[in-house]
């Protein structure tokens, strides 16, 4: 059957995948958002359903007051001996750790720390031994992909950390993953930085310790010279074999807002790319080493895409997330509504305001929600980070209640428009496309246009960092804000 990329839309970067019990499981980076590390399940590598998060308790990861794009980097998921392992980095504390579970639908363990530096850690299991690898410096100060043997029960190092490969020459060598295929060891990595020069490279060896010889055709997958083209940033992938014996790479990539405008606001998304092994044991990926929108895959199934998100058809604990270390005393969850109790913390702070959000999953959408507020300010935000976000809100004024549009770019806080309303409640509406977010307030049967903001200012090219736009509900100030009748409909 034919499928279309990305197979998971929106800010779900750094995918890692494993197979177990006839299904596939994937994790992605979450940075400053809590719960951490979204967890997906799929029967076919194309249709993915989020089933929860890995890091669901505050003692599993420190996110308190961290900057945007800090926190949880590049997880790897592996299955061995009936147990799932997720290994990752808290880049803010500079700690590598893993957690585990015997029930993929249940809770994960407390963290087990490994005394090896670098980021993007991974695990490889063979013959009762566990190898831990990351990028960074080995015990002799040599940089590259670093590996040691560990005790999987305790995280204790059982060998020195040794540099086993230094890549193909691209900058920012990262994302190492080890595989054993037909008796050979394959080490796949990313180079070039998670931007327009991003690429996947790999090497092969006869031993888990090397010597690793790079593929002569590296990079095996990249869109760095594929221009003008909407898919860019292809890299940071994980290799997986499907039920038919065919190989694929699940990797990240991003979609530009327009062919001639190199900006991306949806974050880094998940792409599925076919892999072919040749008789000599080397593999190629994609079409001539590049990623396309459409491919064919064996199987009798249909790619499905959810277009409408509401309070009723989403789960507060699965689809939605919060900033950093939320105070759940500020949240009242109901089946078809939510009440947020504001505090002195705002969206401009590297902290935890009363905030709950979904990832923006496509360029064209319409979001609406009915809001009533008894003080302070509450509303809807298109949120990239604390310095870049657009907010449409209700707040109390001397005359009653006003709708306000605020555009925050580069730390410059601008009030674009305010309109007095004749009611204490209104429907707030955001209509987005590739180029603009347009903001409206509907009250007493009348829809009022408040203004717009360019999408390109809520992008990694402007804001920096590694996340994507979140469509959030928020409340600030000492108040209670009630949200109901929520819908986010993608075109």
Q: 31: which DSSP letter?
A: B
Q: Same domain for 215 and 243? A: yes
How many CA atoms lie within 13 Å of 76's alpha carbon, on the beta-carbon side? 29
Task: Categorize the per-residue pLDDT at 265 as very low, low, confident or very high, splitting at 50, 70 and 90.
Answer: very high
Task: Categorize the per-residue pLDDT at 228 as very low, low, confident or very high, splitting at 50, 70 and 90.
Answer: confident
d(CA 56, CA 37): 9
- Examine residue 355 and state whether it is found in any structural domain, yes or no: yes
φ/ψ of 455, rounded to 5, equals -65, -30
Q: Same domain for 215 and 313? A: no
Q: What's this model's pTM, rounded to 2 decimal places?
A: 0.97
Q: Same domain for 432 and 324? A: yes
Q: Same domain for 31 and 123? A: yes
Average pLDDT over residues 8-15: 98
Query: What own/partner pairs with CB < 8 Å and gap ≥ 24 does 291-296 have?
Result: 291/5, 291/221, 291/223, 291/231, 291/234, 291/251, 291/253, 292/5, 292/231, 293/4, 293/5, 293/231, 294/2, 294/3, 294/4, 294/5, 295/2, 295/3, 295/5, 296/1, 296/2, 296/3
Angle (nearest 5°) at CA 273 between 268 and 279: 145
Residue 318: per-residue pLDDT: 97
Q: Same domain for 421 and 441? A: yes
- Examine residue 419 and state whether it is found in any structural domain, yes or no: yes
Distances (CA, A) of 193 to 68, 373, 403: 18, 44, 41
- Examine residue 454 and state whether it is found in any structural domain, yes or no: yes
Place of tokens 């009653």: 400
With a cut of 90, say whether residue 471 has pLDDT above it.
Answer: yes
Considering 267, 296, 325, which residue would you say is the last residue of a domain?
Answer: 296
Structure tokens at 6: 């990305």
With a cut of 90, say whether residue 444 has pLDDT above it.
Answer: no
- Examine residue 424 and state whether it is found in any structural domain, yes or no: yes
Stated as kind and residue range, the H or E segment containing 460 is: helix 460-463
Angle (nearest 5°) at CA 481 between 477 and 487: 130
How remote is the C-alpha of 28 from its chain's centroid? 5
Q: Same domain for 149 and 91? A: yes
Q: Same domain for 283 and 416? A: no
436 contacts 418 by C-beta, under 8 angstroms: no
Full domain range(s) for residue 485: 308-490
Considering 245, 267, 296, which residue would you say is the last residue of a domain?
Answer: 296
Residue 341: per-residue pLDDT: 98
- Examine residue 411 and state whether it is found in any structural domain, yes or no: yes
Q: Same domain for 287 and 435? A: no
Give the neighbor-by-neighbor strand order of the sheet with 49-55.
16-20, 23-27, 36-42, 49-55
Domain count of the fold of the chain: 2
Task: Categorize the per-residue pLDDT at 227 as very low, low, confident or very high, splitting at 50, 70 and 90.
Answer: confident
- SS3 of residue 19 by DSSP: strand
Task: Categorize the per-residue pLDDT at 399 as very low, low, confident or very high, splitting at 50, 70 and 90.
Answer: confident
Residue-wise pLDDT for 135-185, tens only, equals 999 999 999 999 999 999 999 999 999 999 999 999 999 999 999 999 999
- Examine residue 302 and state whether it is found in any structural domain, yes or no: no
Structure tokens at 64: 């308190």
Place of tokens 């020459």: 169
DSSP conformation letters of 337-380: EEEEE-BS--TTSSS--EEEEEE--SSSEEEEEEEEESSSEEEE
Q: 67: which DSSP letter?
A: P
The domain that holds 449 is classified in CATH as 2.60.120.200
d(CA 16, CA 249): 9
250-275 burial, b for 16+ CB within 10 Å, e for fewer? bbbbbbbbeeeebbbbbbbbbbbbbb
Q: Same domain for 146 and 282? A: yes
The domain that holds 100 is classified in CATH as 2.115.10.20
Residue 294: per-residue pLDDT: 96
Considering 251, 270, 296, which residue would you say is the last residue of a domain?
Answer: 296
In sequence order, the 6+-apart residues with CB closer than 8 A to the CB of 79 are 18, 19, 20, 25, 85
3-state DSSP helix/strand/coil % of the chain, to nearest 5: 5, 55, 45
Task: Categorize the per-residue pLDDT at 417 as very low, low, confident or very high, splitting at 50, 70 and 90.
Answer: very high
315 contacts 56 by C-beta, under 8 angstroms: no
Q: 75: which DSSP letter?
A: E
- Examine residue 303 and state whether it is found in any structural domain, yes or no: no
Stated as kind and residue range, the H or E segment containing 463 is: helix 460-463
Question: Residue 120's closest CA among 50, 29, 40?
Answer: 29
- Examine residue 301 and state whether it is found in any structural domain, yes or no: no
Q: Same domain for 224 and 81? A: yes
Residue 328: per-residue pLDDT: 97
Active site residues: 14, 174
Residue 274: per-residue pLDDT: 98
What would the 3-class secondary structure string for 101-116 be?
ECCCCCCCCCCEEECC
Question: Residue 373's closest CA among 394, 400, 344?
Answer: 394
Q: Same domain for 315 and 196? A: no
Q: Same domain for 292 and 322? A: no
Residue 398: per-residue pLDDT: 86
Burial status of residue 468 (CB atoms within 10 A of its CB: 0-12, 13-18, 19 or more): buried
């Amino acid at each position: 059957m034919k499928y279309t990329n990305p197979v998971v839309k929106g800010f779900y970067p750094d995918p890692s995948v494993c197979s177990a019990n006839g299904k596939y499981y994937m994790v992605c980076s979450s940075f400053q958002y809590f719960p951490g590390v979204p967890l997906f399940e799929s029967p076919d590598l194309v249709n993915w359903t989020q089933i929860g998060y890995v890091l669901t308790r505050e003692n599993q990861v420190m996110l308190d007051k961290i900057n945007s794009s800090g926190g949880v980097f590049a997880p790897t998921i592996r299955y061995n001996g009936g147990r799932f392992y997720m290994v990752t980095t808290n880049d803010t504390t500079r700690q590598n750790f893993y957690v585990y579970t015997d029930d993929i639908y249940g809770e994960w363990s407390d963290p087990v720390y490994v005394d090896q530096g670098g980021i993007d850690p991974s695990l490889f299991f063979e013959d009762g031994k566990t190898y831990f690898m990351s990028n960074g410096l080995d015990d002799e100060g040599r940089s590259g992909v670093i590996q040691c043997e560990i005790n999987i029960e305790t995280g204790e190092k059982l060998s020195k950390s040794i540099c086993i490969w230094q890549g193909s020459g691209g900058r920012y060598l990262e994302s190492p993953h080890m595989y054993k295929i037909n008796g050979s060891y394959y080490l796949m990595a990313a180079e070039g930085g998670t931007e327009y020069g991003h690429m996947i490279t790999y090497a092969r060896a006869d031993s888990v310790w090397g010597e690793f010889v790079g593929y002569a055709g590296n990079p095996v997958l990249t869109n760095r010279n594929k221009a003008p083209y909407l898919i860019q940033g292809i890299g940071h992938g994980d290799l997986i074999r499907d039920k038919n014996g065919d190989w694929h790479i699940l990797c990240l990539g991003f979609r530009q807002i327009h062919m001639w405008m190199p900006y991306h606001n949806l974050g880094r998304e998940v792409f599925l790319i076919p892999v072919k092994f040749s008789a000599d044991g080397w593999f190629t990926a994609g079409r001539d080493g590049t990623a396309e929108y459409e491919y064919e895959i064996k199987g009798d199934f249909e790619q499905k895409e959810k277009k409408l998100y509401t309070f009723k058809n989403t789960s507060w604990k699965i689809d939605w997330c919060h900033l950093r270390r939320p105070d759940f005393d500020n949240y009242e969850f109901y089946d078809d509504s939510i009440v947020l109790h504001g505090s002195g913390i705002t969206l401009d702070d590297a902290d935890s305001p009363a905030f709950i959000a979904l990832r923006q999953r496509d360029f064209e959408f319409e979001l609406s929600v009915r809001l009533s507020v008894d003080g302070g300010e509450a509303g809807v935000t298109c949120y990239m980070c604390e310095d870049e976000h657009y907010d449409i809100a209700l707040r109390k004024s001397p005359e009653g209640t006003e709708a306000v549009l605020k555009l925050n770019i580069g730390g410059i806080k601008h009030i674009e428009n305010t309109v007095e309303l004749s009611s204490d409640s209104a429907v707030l509406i955001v209509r987005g496309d590739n180029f603009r977010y347009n903001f409206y307030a509907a009250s007493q049967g009348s829809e009022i246009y408040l203004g717009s903001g360019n999408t390109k200012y809520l992008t990694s090219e402007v804001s920096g960092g590694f996340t994507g736009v979140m469509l959030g509900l928020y409340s600030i100030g000492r108040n209670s804000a009630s949200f109901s009748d929520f819908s986010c409909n993608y075109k």
